[in-house]
Structure 1
Amino acid sequence: MTDQTDFASIVADIARERPDDIALTYYDRSWTWAQFVERIQRNAAAQRAAGLQPGDRVAVLDLNHPSCLETTLACAQVGTANAIVNFRLAPPEIIYVINDAQAKILFVGPEFAGAVAQIREKIPTVQTVVHVGGENDEYEAWLAAHEPDPEHYPARPDDCFVQLYTSGTTGFPKGALLTHRGMLSHARNVATDFELGPESRVQVAMPLFHVGGTSYALLTLAQGARISMLRVPDPVAVWDMLERERITHTFLVPALLATMMQVPDAEERDVSALQALSYGASPMPLPVLRQCLKVFPGKMHQVYGMTEACGVVSSLGPEDHDESPEKAHRLLSAGKPIHGVEMEVRDPATGEPVPVGSPGEIWVRTEQLMAGYWQKPDATESAITPDGWLRSGDGGYMDADGYFYVTDRIKDMIISGGENIYPAEIERVLVEHPTVADVAVIGVPDDKWGEVPKAIVVPAPGQTVDPDELIAYSREHLASFKCPKSVEIIDELPRNPSGKVLKKDLRAKYWEGRERQVV
């Protein structure tokens, strides 16, 4: 990575040094570094011609496409910011994000053209809609109409150039202001720990509205490595790309890995080029992890991170993916902080550090942190302390060896008879039962204990869940006060567009008309 302090300059420097090397592949197309930078500079020229000024926002509503990265880097060059919209959102939420960002240009993929036509009058800040790809592509003509503009806005380290929205499980999402300083620090820190360099070939399969997509792509570009991008993370397509492109690094979520393990020839695939398979963003069921360890021995890295920190803050490396008696407990760990990151566990009420092994809230301090939430100073002040610590909202603890364990969101913690119970710990046990396909644990009212754990279970295909048997099973693996006191069986868990379980919806009917500290 060069010594430049903004992303657009770094990519331009690499293009000058290695103009004919491949920067990015997308199915049957590829672009050299010189071609990639020319397209970025045409995008920058088009933004300026449209009257955009530093600080303005554009938005992208599309499945993965190279144009989104080109737009993000053009924003870095012009001083604008790309607000990438979660395409899984419902129309009212899409309207909210575009209006919240005050986007002036909206780039739209063919799958979402109809939806945008229906909401067009409800997004008044958008002056121009540019259709990307498909039969009605306007993006290529939009680029071609302008000569490349090499001028760079003198960006400050804390200027935002990409605005990613949090998932919003308890309300509307917030726009995290991700900066040059934050993204470059993330790129440097992750590349150091994961040995990602100019010769690496990196698969970008996760959606670009997520840090697992955009941040992963940007850190790859910062190292001068080659990106191979998928439009959608189809399990067979992921396998095919791993083999065909000789991928060295990838990041995949547990749900996708679970479907990949079901592909009939999974264990016969040639992944000998792969050096690091990172997974995270949601808990990894141990049965799926054990399958992955057989298929990707010595290559698995669990990563823990957050949008507000530009991505990864801790990692559990291959050496700790070991089921030997002395290490097996670490498979439930988020590992140790990566290079350039501090982590502590604090009392969520007082902000004071808690003893080793004691539960609390995970706090993070690093140059990777966001500048704050877009136009939400109160939320920013609540999230980031005056001395630079991010309150993650995640409950957890640190063991005597310095490994961090993420137990649950603080707001999902169950307080039963004065004991703090983290649902994720119970869920990890219950999902191992052969009759269980999916599970969420919530706190429900109890006259004696205040609240007690209840398991909401989705049966595995062809299986019947016996509540008494499941409760007895939990008692074999958990302290009695942590075991669910009842079981409800449903067909499907409610989830938000990012796939996170909406526990507030599950709790609602039980807490109606009651007061509850944690909502």
Structure 2
Amino acid sequence: MGPDAVLVPQPSAEDFPDFVSIPGRIARHARDFPERRAVVCGDTSRTWREFDRRVGRVARALAAMGLGRGDKIAILAANSGEYLETFMGALRAGACVVPLSTMAAADALEKMLDDCDARVLFLSDRYRGLVEPWEDRLSKLIPGGRIAYDFERPGWRAFEGWLALADDAPFERPLDRLDDFNIIYSSGTTGLPKGILHSHAMRDLLAVRFAAFDYGPDTVSLASTPLYSNTTLVSVLATLGGGGTTILMPRFDVVRFLEIAERERVTHAMLVPVQYQRILAHPDFARYDLGAFKAKLSTSAPLRAHIKADCLARWPGRLIEIYGLTEGGASCTLEANLHPDKLHTVGKPGLGSEIVVLDEAGRVLPQGEVGELAGRAQIMMKGYHGQDGKTRELFWHDAEGRLFFRSGDMGRIDEDGFVVLLDRKKDMIISGGFNVYAADLEVLLLEHPDVIDAAVIGIPSDEWGETPLGLCVLRPGAATTAEELRDWANGRLGKTQRLAAVEIRDSLPRSTIGKIMKRELREPYWAGRTARI
């Protein structure tokens, strides 16, 4: 899908007179401060000179294979320096990168690779088992297009050997602001997930605007979520764009995170809510010196108000919550330090975004009323790759004809202009004709001293259609029963909100970026019934 084919209007050259691609910024940093650290992962550290050189070699190696503007390369691997070199090198070659989720099922991964027309696949040994069931059907990969980071197998080329065939001569290929940057597949669990297509302009603009969060050449950013996630990429690209140091964790571990943060004098981290919860709950948290932090960011799911308050009290530096879609459009930021009375919100529209609240008929609701959030911004995705119909389903136009993206999230805008986020529209529980927002019930359950994690889902009810069920994880040693917890909650809830039951769970299923997988929780209760799962 080229610039002339996109459904979503894109900015003109006049809107970005100072556009510089992320690969172009990397080359600039290599010239300006060649010996500063660019990327660190485990025992491997690359200066900007070294990183830029290896990025150039990846670009040259891909170009030698015939790849150029708009061609797709896919990566299925854990975080590593080589992963980031591949990503940036492919961009420099003009290619579009498809970072694949390591949590996806094997059949879903096959569909993604076929859908995006990837010509080269980079793979690590840890995820070979996801590829082997359909490896023989990868007909769109070019000869030599199977590259192994850390294993040897017939038909696969070793990454370092492949890279050694390219020389260190500088590689330059003009990149247009609307060229394809990446395709990120949504986390759909049935059918083909939607491939969200971003442009170079969108990515570079994010890097520029994150300077407001103190990203710059002195940044030391610790990335502990997977590189296939937009959550991770936003922070990593801001660090690369600003000339800071990116420290990659192949896998998140609380103690390891705290050790690295103290030793490396980490200034920035983009974390998801469950990570904040686990880090702050660690008994040795106070022993670590985190005084170098300038800003901690949170995204991917709502960060509970009590966790924000705890973070403000005990963790130095700014706390910034970002609400937004991978598709772009609706976006909010909450400077928690500046607005301690608004911790129950996700802040005000930010990063050039405008937000409205819509009713079921698509009419704009007045301030304070609950509806679906829709937003627009200077930069939004180019569309869902190859799915024009799905792209159009997002569209809403205001009276002036301006395009907004429907978010699928329910919420309201309070009297001060702060957005209160409720549930995903598809997760809203309709009980006896009343809308019940699981988020409200979850906040209440988490106020109980014995509850450390909670989710509320709608389950079938012959009387009400569906009814709320609370699923709770208790603190170690807690003696509260499910019935006591239900009665405690229902004594504080309105009649239409009351829980039919509470179940105690050892844990709640979460994705690698911390989102509770409510579809998985609902499925056993709705099996065999006609309902959205």
TM-score normalised by L of structure 2: 0.87
User: Is 2:391 the counterpart of 1:391?
Assistant: no
8 Å CA contact 2:125, 2:151 repeated in 1: yes
SS in 2 for 1:389: strand
Q: How far has the Cα of 1:99 moved from its partner?
A: 2.2
Matching of residues 151-162 of structure 1 within 5 Å = 151-162=171-182
Q: Find the residue that maps to 2:162 and give its secondary structure.
A: helix
Matches within 5 A, 1:323-342: 327=341, 330-342=342-354
User: What do the CA deviations read for 1:199-233 (whole angstroms, capped 9, x no partner)?
Assistant: 22212221101012122111111112221222212
Over residues 376-405 of structure 1, what are the superposed CA-to-partner deviations in whole Å (9 max), with x where a residue is unaligned?
A: 111111124463312111111110111111
RMSD between aligned residues? 2.7
Cα distance change of structure 1 residues 120 and 510 upon mapping to structure 2, 3 Å threshold: closer
What secondary structure, in the 3-state scheme, does the structure 1 residue paired with 2:290 have? coil
Question: Where do residues 119-198 of structure 1 align in structure 2 (5 Å cutoff)?
Answer: 119-127=134-142, 128-133=145-150, 138-148=158-168, 150-168=170-188, 171-192=191-212, 194-198=213-217
- The AA in structure 2 aligned to 1:132 is Y
Quickly say closer, same or farther: Cα 1:476–1:300, change in 2 above 3 A: farther
Displacement of 1:65 in angstroms is 1.0
Instruction: Confirm or deny that 1:379 pairs with 2:379.
Output: no
1:496/1:22 CA distance change after superposition, 3 Å:
closer
1:10 to 14, 22, 25: 25
Residue segments in structure 2 that go unaligned for 5+ positions in a row: 1-15
User: Structure 2 CA distance, aligned partners of 1:513 and 1:264?
Assistant: 45
Bigger drift between 365-374 and 454-463 goes to 454-463
8 A Cα contact 2:29 2:243, kept in partner:
yes
Contact 1:455 1:488 in 2 (8 A): yes
Q: Which amino acid aligns with 2:346?
A: A
Match in the other structure for 1:364:
375
Contact 2:106/2:133, CA 8 A, preserved across alignment: no
The residue that corresponds to 2:467 in the other structure is: 452
Greater mean alpha carbon deviation, residues 170-179 or residues 267-276: 170-179
2:249 paired with 1:238: no
Amino acid in structure 1 at the alignment position of 2:149: V
The correspondence for 2:358, drawn from 332, 336, 346, is 346
- Fraction of identical pairs, as percent: 33
CA distance, structure 2, for counterparts of residue 15 and residue 394 of structure 1: 42
Question: 2:32, 2:346 → 1: CA distance?
Answer: 38
Match of residue 272 from structure 2:
253
Please state how far the C-alpha of 1:101 moved relative to its aligned partner: 1.9
Q: CA deviation at 1:305?
A: 2.3
Partner of 1:220: 239
1:286·1:432 contact (CA, 8 Å) conserved in 2?
no
**Counterpart residue type for residue 173 of structure 1:** P
Q: Secondary structure at the match of 1:319?
A: coil
Among 440, 445, 449, the residue aligned to 1:425: 440
Q: More deviation in 257-266 or 223-232?
A: 257-266
Residues 347-403 of structure 1 show CA distances to partners (whole Å, capped at 9, x for unaligned) of 2x3322211111111112113321111111111111244633121111111101111
User: Aligned partners of 1:467, 1:50: CA distance in 2, in Å?
Assistant: 61
Residue 365 of structure 2 corresponds to residue 318 of structure 1: no
Give 1:95's aligned amino acid.
E
SS for the counterpart of 1:308 is coil
Q: Deviations over 1:233-266 (max 9, x none)?
A: 2212211121111111111122222332344421
Question: Cα–Cα, structure 1 residues 318 and 170, in superposed 2: closer, same or farther, change >3 Å?
Answer: same
8 A Cα contact 1:44 1:149, kept in partner? no
Cα displacement (A) at 1:515: 4.9
User: Post-superposition shift, 1:288?
Assistant: 4.2
- For 2:383, what is the secondary structure of its paired residue? coil
Cα distance in 1 for residues equivalent to 2:495 and 2:394: 35
Q: d(CA) in 2 for partners of 1:10 and 1:384?
A: 33
- Of 484, 487, 490 in structure 2, the residue corresponding to residue 472 of structure 1 is 487
Deviations 1:326-365 (A, max 9, x none): x1xx222111122322222222x33222111111111121
CA contact (8 A) 1:334 1:405 kept: yes
Please state how far the C-alpha of 1:36 moved relative to its aligned partner: 1.4
The residue matched to 1:231 in structure 2 has which SS?
coil
1:64 has 2:79 as partner? yes
- Structure 2 vs 1, CA of residues 242 and 496 (structure 1 numbering), >3 Å: closer, same or farther? closer
CA distance in 2, matches of 1:509, 1:204: 35
Aligned residue number for residue 47 of structure 1: 62
- Kindly state the Cα deviation for residue 135 of structure 1 after the two structures are TM-superposed: 8.1
CA distance in 2, matches of 1:96, 1:77: 26
